Amino acid sequence: MNDLLKMTLVLTLICVVAAVALSQVYRVTKEPIAVALEAEAKEAAATVLGPVLSDGAAVDKRAGGPDGAALYVAVKDGQPQGFAFPVVSHKGYAGDIGGMLGVDTEGRVLGYKVVQHSETPGLGSHIQTNEAWLKQLVFCPDGERRTLDSKNTDWRVKKDGGDIDALTGATISPRAVTGSIKAGLEWFAEHRAELTGTVSPNPVEAQDAGPPTPNPKLEEGGVVDQKLPAAVALPKVEKTPPPFTEKTLTE
């Protein structure tokens, strides 16, 4: 009996100490992790918005992206020049493929970047690294930017009868990326009117652009600076949903 008591006591004590230690580490690292994910999403947004940023526009983060994600708007003289938002495919070969898609106000593709994936190294992973392949997601063979218009681009891989090349040894990963871009373009086409219309310096209107999900985690720890260094002074959107990568990374 005495033995049983001791065993229970020691094990309980160890677990309690471990739990306290872990909660402290979690508290300390929570903010740097949020900052790192945020910086990653912001960097990706700046990359895919590159073509419109070169003439002096600044990136502004807002709520109202697809599925409660963030929306990055390139703003110049108060006018939106382009939009970047996360597109996630659940049809990857090994897990979700998270990407950032940039479009201009007309819905033309400005850029696409894979942010997070777990595809096979050396095969499917080329969706992130193969420059030529990534370029043909943005430009048609004649040099026009791709759009949702079916005359412009059939958003399927060539194997399925579409216009997008697959990669050597990998069809599933390109197919997933292609599908997620198409879904992203469709989302933009649906919301284009309100997005191009409601991007005003008024944060209340900006919030109306989509249902913002309050994120107590971010608010509590202080909202991270939402602008790139060169950003113009625009009011911040108070409530920001977590970057989508947080979800995909922890699942």
Partner 1 sequence: MSHVQEFTKGLLRENPVFKLVLGMCPTLAVTTSAENGIGMGLASTFVLVCSNVLVSLLRNVIPAKVRIPAFIVIIASFVTVVDLTMNAYFHQLHKALGLFIPLIVVNCIILGRAEAFASKNKVTPAIADGLGMGIGFTLALFVLGSTRELLGSGSVLGVPILSSLIGAIGWDFKQVIVMILPPGAFIALGVILSIINAVSKRMTKAPASG
User: Does the protein bind partner 1 through residue 26 (CB under 8 A)?
Assistant: yes
User: Does the protein bind partner 1 through residue 171 (CB under 8 A)?
Assistant: no
User: Does the protein bind partner 1 through residue 220 (CB under 8 A)?
Assistant: no
CB of 17 to partner 1, least distance (A): 9
**Stretch touching partner 1 by CB under 8 A, among 15-23, 69-77, 142-150, 210-218:** 15-23
User: Does the protein bind partner 1 through residue 18 (CB under 8 A)?
Assistant: yes
How far, in whole angstroms, is CA 249 from its chain's centroid? 12
Q: CA-to-CA distance for 62 and 73, rounded, in angstroms?
A: 7
Backbone angles phi, psi at 78, to 5 degrees: 75, -5
C-alpha dihedral, 138 to 139 to 144 to 150, nearest 10°: -70
User: Does the protein bind partner 1 through residue 139 (CB under 8 A)?
Assistant: no
User: Does the protein bind partner 1 through residue 251 (CB under 8 A)?
Assistant: no
Within residues 105-134, the interface with partner 1 by CB under 8 A covers 116, 118, 120-123
User: Does the protein bind partner 1 through residue 217 (CB under 8 A)?
Assistant: no
**Distances in Å between the alpha carbon of 37 and those of 32, 42, 92?**
9, 9, 21
Contact criterion met (CB below 8 Å) for 230 and 42: no
Residue from the set 3, 55, 142, 251 that interacts with partner 1 by CB under 8 A: 3
How many secondary structure helices (H) and strands (E) does the chain include? Answer: 8, 5
Within residues 32-71, the interface with partner 1 by CB under 8 A covers 32-33, 36-37, 40
**Distances in Å between the alpha carbon of 177 and those of 44, 70, 115, 149?**
16, 19, 12, 18
Q: What are the residues binding partner 1 (CB under 8 A)?
A: 3, 6-7, 10-11, 14-15, 18, 21-22, 25-26, 29, 32-33, 36-37, 40, 116, 118, 120-123, 169, 249
